[in-house]
Structure 1
């Protein structure tokens, strides 16, 4: 996509709003035509050459009325411009974030979070600026055309002699914008490195302290800041130099008018009113030339912003940035799914046929997986480390883009798993829970309203009530960055509560209980069956507590299903399952031995 095509797609995102904005600012820029003519009559009235014969105070009243009207129009123009720019920026950021969130975790963004923030903030702002300036250029072009027609009618020679040098000056100045584009790109890259370094430092404070690398990290950060200062200084100086040329071209034009008008006024071919009209219109015509220059500058800078935004798409077409989906801007608005009927349909069977996904870097993954889940069943996916358990559930849920295979919900194809397998259809608890530096309550709800007893029930089912009672501020406890104030088991149960607070037909647990003791894990599964007996569960686990509850067990090996059946059947027929079962027994015995030793040591102290 070229920069011009990108700009046109932005303009047509809300065509009606853009046209309204353009019309409003065109009227604003055309309004000075009338005050210019009134000013001409005012000065001619002083010499007795005016045609209106309104008198001095009448002309002053007209000027005040025109100024007041223009102020009101400018207020309306700013309102339309803000609405257009706000929606355009929201559209870009929404589409970019939506695309990033749909990617596999390892490919979500090709840069640090700090650099990504720079793309979302600075590059989108620059794009908004260029699109907004296109409105000004259109309005000022209309003014320049009308003003030029009037001035040529008064004196064509002077009009050409005044405006042609200005066009040349501004055109020459525009030749420098390619260098400005280079400086702007370098400035943005330097800013991205600084924000990226800040993100890395905040995210790895403990590692930096343990390594004793504080001084080296600070020196590296200082170097990035110094590079940013130099590049931003060049960018700012070049921009200010061009603005200075554009702005002071008005003074050049006035000087040319003074040199040419004297002789014409002496001959009587040029009145004082004509002189005032030339000077008055000169400011606006020069503003037109200036703003054209600024638009060209912003347009070139937008090409830099477009390249940086496309880099976050990682190969996806640039049109992803300008997809015209609904913007939910009003409080309480909810996106209505196209398949609303399907989303409310109770799960009877979930069928997977030929599901395949291979990681691009290694070629490993899952291959030709066939499985079927019955409504209300408890299915466990087990296998050794690296057998493809997590890859299977993530591909099923659309968190990884399947290479081949079909997924059917009650016999109906699931076209887009990433959007279909969300509440109320499905809820998911990841292998490594992601926590935020917020209260425990907000980490569980994630914006959902904790209506009625849903939050209390979810906490009970996740076996968290005892932990919350012993936290200093209960559910309002701040758990710190990435949940550092919680133990591994508490984080897993917080993730379980987060999932269970969302009523769903299918619950997917990815190795949820790996950090739980045997008793807590047993309680979790018992409470889940007791309160949500009709729900379908797909569980990734090698723990005996989960395997013992399973209606059906799938054994994975090397990305394929090696065996499946009940625990009793697999203990007779599957060597891999026998090894996992006995391995879990040894792990439990080791954990019990460690607990006994700890109790003995504590009694001796």
Structure 2
């Protein structure tokens, strides 16, 4: 989709609103036609050449009435412009965000969150600006056509001088296209890098402090800021230079009109009223020429915005940006929640969490065949994985660091786009795993919990309505009841950005409570207990077994507490399943599992080989 098609799809997003907006501003720009003619008659009346039968005060009253009328029209114009323009921006951001949220987690955005914010903010604003100015250009073109007709009837030569600057404006804008786009692209890119760096700094404060890297980080930020300053200076200088050329070309036309008008008035072919009409219209023609120049500038810069927004789509069609979707602007409409009922909480209202999939068929067995995924940058990943989960089973995936454990569960859940393989739920193929594996079918706790600067309650519920004792049961199962009692505000304690007010173990158990409150068919834990002490971990698994009933668990872990409870263990190595079975079997025949189980504790190895620890 090129820039012309992009602009056309934007302005036809709400054709009725665009038509009303264009009509309102066309009337606004045409409004000076009548006052101009009245002004002509006013000055002609002073010299006795007026054809209008009004007195001087009558003509002044007409001019004041026309001015007040134009003010009222401008108010209406701003209302119509806001209604159209900001809906257009909301549509772009809504479609872009929806596309991002549908992507596998590892490929949601190809840039840092800070850079993505720059795309959502600056590039959408640039698109809005260009589309909005198209209305002004249309309205002022109508004014130019009507005024040109009137002025030509008075004096064709003078009219040519009035509109000559327009040719200069368009010519200069076309010549400056390449440089204008280059500077705008550099300015946007440098701004995105600065925004991204700010995001990274705030997100990694602790790591920066521990490494004593404050000075290096600040120096890097200063360099990025200096690069941004230079890029924005060039961009602003180019824009101001074009505006200066547009304005001065108009001033040149004004000077020529004054020189020529004097000669014609001395010859008696040009009245004072004619001169007043030309000068009056010249003000609006100047605005027309300036607006045409601005629109051309914005349109050229819009191509940069389109390219950057399309980059976020990662190969998807740019038409996604302008697809007509509901914006839910009606106050009576409620955003869907994960439970499908009740008011949304703060985080859900901001995140607009999609409505959960219905619990249409309970999990009986989940079969995976030939599942593969390769990271494009490293060539590592998983290959040919086959596994089967039955209802109520507790399966643990284990292996050394880098063996593909997390990659396996993320590919299974659709957070990474599989290269090959099939996934069947109760014998039915799962076409879109990312959409399918959502509550109440499955709930997932990632290796690194994602927490928000909000209350503990909102972090756990994430918009789901609190029903009965579900939250308390989830807190108990996640061994969080004591921690909540110690927090100053209990569940209403604000835990800070990324949950900085919580310990590592508390953050993991908060993520576990978030998962358990969903009451899913399949629970997927990715190294949930890595930050827990042995006693807390033991309690967590005991309580999990107490409450899970027929729920199926898939757990990534190398901890003995989880391995000992497993019905089935899958040992990963180099992206493939090296061995699988119970802990007793694997201790007898898998060297990798033996290393994971014993570590460096050789003293107990022989004893545990004869009687492997296992409890249910």
TM-score normalised per structure 1: 0.86
Determine which of 368, 378, 402 is the counterpart of 2:394: 378
Give the secondary structure class of the aligned counterpart of 1:23: helix
Q: Do structure 1's residue 430 and structure 2's residue 461 form an aligned pair? A: no
Cα distance in 1 for residues equivalent to 2:190 and 2:320: 26
Alpha-carbon distance change, 340 to 526 in structure 1, aligned in 2, over 3 angstroms: closer
2:356–2:440 contact (8 Å) kept in structure 1: no
SS of the aligned residue for 1:13 comes to coil
Counterpart-to-counterpart distance in 1, 2:108 and 2:192: 17
Q: Does residue 1:223 correspond to 2:232, yes or no?
A: no
Could you say if the C-alpha distance between residues 38 and 349 of structure 1 is closer, same or farther in structure 2, counting changes exceeding 3 Å?
farther
1:453 aligns with 2:469: yes
Aligned position for 2:590: 575
Cα-to-partner distance string for 1:288-318 (whole Å, 9 max, x where unaligned): 2211111111122222233333444444444
Q: Once structures 1 and 2 are overlaid, which stretch shifts more, 425-434 or 256-265?
A: 256-265
Alignment partners' CA distance in 2, 1:29 and 1:441: 55
Does residue 494 in structure 1 map to residue 496 in structure 2?
Answer: no
Deviations 1:149-192 (A, max 9, x none): 22222222321233225533663465345434333333333333
Alignment of 1:182 onto 2:186: no
Counterpart of 1:402 in structure 2 is: 418
Whether 1:521 and 2:523 are equivalent positions in the alignment is no
Q: SS at 1:382's partner residue? A: strand
Is residue 375–residue 381 contact of structure 2 (8 Å, CA) maintained in 1?
A: yes
Deviates more, 1:41-50 or 1:414-423: 41-50
Moved more, 361-370 or 279-288: 361-370
> Match for residue 276 of structure 1?
276
Do structure 1's residue 351 and structure 2's residue 353 form an aligned pair?
no
Q: What displacement does 1:445 show?
A: 2.8
Does the 8 A contact of 2:371 with 2:384 survive in 1?
Answer: yes
Per-residue CA deviation, residues 90-115 of structure 1 (Å, 9 max, x unaligned), is 33333444444455555554444433
Distance 1:559 1:57 in 2: 91
1:124-163 matches, within 5 Å, as 124-163=124-163
Quote the Cα distance in structure 2 between the aligned partners of 1:72 and 1:378: 71
Aligned to 1:120: 120
Is the aligned partner of 1:393 residue 2:393? Answer: no
Equivalent residue, structure 1, for 2:86: 86
In 1, the alpha carbon distance for the partners of 2:95 and 2:548 equals: 36
The aligned counterpart of 1:26 is 26
Aligned to 1:334: 336
Per the TM alignment, residue 240 of structure 1 is displaced from its structure 2 partner at its CA by: 2.4
Residue 611 of structure 2 is matched in structure 1 by: none
Q: Aligned partners of 2:18 and 2:39: how far apart in 1?
A: 33
**Cα gap change, 1:488/1:552 in structure 2, threshold over 3 Å: closer, same or farther?**
same
- Give CA-to-partner distance per residue, 1:422-468, whole Å, 9 cap, x none: 22332110112123344333332334444543322221121101112
Correspondence list, 1:253-292, <5 A: 253-292=253-292
Q: Do 1:544 and 1:584's aligned partners in 2 also have CA atoms closer than 8 Å?
A: no
Q: Does 2:463 correspond to 1:463? A: no
Contact in 2 for aligned 1:543/1:584 (Cα 8 Å): no
Q: 1:304 corresponds to which residue? A: 304
Mean Cα displacement is larger for which, 79-88 or 425-434?
A: 79-88
Change over 3 Å in CA distance of 1:208–1:529 after alignment to 2: closer
> Any runs of at least 4 consecutive aligned residues in structure 1 with deviations exceeding 6 A, and if so which?
335-341, 587-590
504-513 or 210-219, larger mean C-alpha shift? 210-219
Change (3 A) 1:587 1:507: farther
Task: Count how many residue pairs are aligned between Structure 1 and Structure 2.
Answer: 589
Distance in 1, matches of 2:526 and 2:198, equals 32
Q: CA RMSD in A?
A: 3.4
